Amino acid sequence: MQVSSQVIPDILDLSPGTYTENCPTRVVLDHVTSKWGVLVLVALTGGRLRWGELRRAVDGISEKMLAQTLRTLERDGLVHREAQPTIPPRVDYELTLLGHELAEHLTPLLRWIAGHAEEMLADG
């Protein structure tokens, strides 16, 4: 389905293919705006975290989902993983410059959602 150029406001200044089915933005949006992706990215805005610290910060995430989310965000260049050669093994995660830039945009969104979630769910 093609979107009429009249439907998309010019003020958004998006590339012409942004709304097309095969646009790479769909893949990135899927990674970034997943429930866990947003929470992990925002949790890392406070600085470097170890695996356990990150798992506690993002309450409710399973080990499998945390590992999968971190691998995806690392592959996308948003999170840096650093394994320390210690016993027991120590792995730290932190945002890259690109990750920090993205988190600056996600934090107000998450703040807005937190401020309106109860109201929105009560109406539904």
Of the candidate ranges 5-14, 31-40, 60-69, 101-110, the one whose mean pLDDT is the lowest: 5-14
pLDDT of 9 over the 60 cut: no
Q: Is the pLDDT of residue 105 over 50?
A: yes
Provide the CA 83 distance to its chain's centre, in angstroms: 22
Q: What is the pLDDT of residue 96?
A: 98
Whether the CB-CB separation of 61 and 55 falls below 8 Å is answered with yes
* Average confidence score pLDDT of the chain: 86
Kindly list the structural domains of the chain, giving each domain's residue range(s) and its CATH number in brackets, ordered by start.
1-32 (no CATH), 34-123 (1.10.10.10)
33-42 pLDDT tens trace: 888 999 999 9
- Tens-digit pLDDT profile for residues 40-88: 999 999 999 999 999 999 999 999 999 999 999 999 999 999 998 889 8
pTM for the full model?
A: 0.81
